Amino acid sequence: MSMGPDWDVVGDQPDREEKQDAVADFLGAMRAMEVEQVKAIEKARPALDRLVKACAEHRVSGQILKVRDLLYSAWNGQATALNEILGLDWALKKDLMAVLLAFGCEPSGHSFFYDAVSDAFRSLGLFDWFTDAHSSGLGRG
């Protein structure tokens, strides 16, 4: 039994034009994905600002503690119950989803990752409060 390709089964190989079309299709899809990621980041930045402002104004609210836990989980990787999202009001949920959609995107010339979240909390003096999620009951549910 041969370990190499069985050319009778493989059939016709794509010609040069087909290969070029396939590469062009792939590159077009990658460009479209990059455009989508940039749009997601553009929506996520003000959404994150609104979430952090809400955290500053309502630090002891159950909903805000859930937002903190969910953002911290994305930022740190520590597990929390995803169903915490169900307890959020619509505005918080929309903003959180925008942030989570863009989190980790780094299309050329743009980035929305760890620094975006930590910088947002630092900007309002809330970074210690944010990282306190690590020891304050993450994963409760």
In a domain, 52, yes or no: yes
In a domain, 2, yes or no: no
Q: pLDDT tens digits, residue range 76-107?
A: 998 889 999 999 999 999 999 999 999 999 99
In a domain, 92, yes or no: yes
In a domain, 33, yes or no: yes
pLDDT grade, residue 140 (50/70/90)? very low
Amino acid at 60: V
In a domain, 111, yes or no: yes
Range of the domain at 82: 15-135
Whether 3 shows a pLDDT value over 70: the answer reads no
Cα–Cα–Cα angle for 41, 83, 139, rounded to 5 degrees: 95
Label residue 49 exposed, middle or buried (CB < 10 Å: 0-12, 13-18, 19+). middle
In a domain, 114, yes or no: yes
Distance in angstroms (rounded) separating the CA atoms of residues 132 and 14 = 57
Whole-number percent of the chain with pLDDT over 70: 87
Q: pLDDT tens digits, residue range 56-69?
A: 999 888 999 999 99
In a domain, 1, yes or no: no
In a domain, 19, yes or no: yes
Domain count, the chain: 1
Distance in angstroms (rounded) separating the CA atoms of residues 128 and 121 = 9
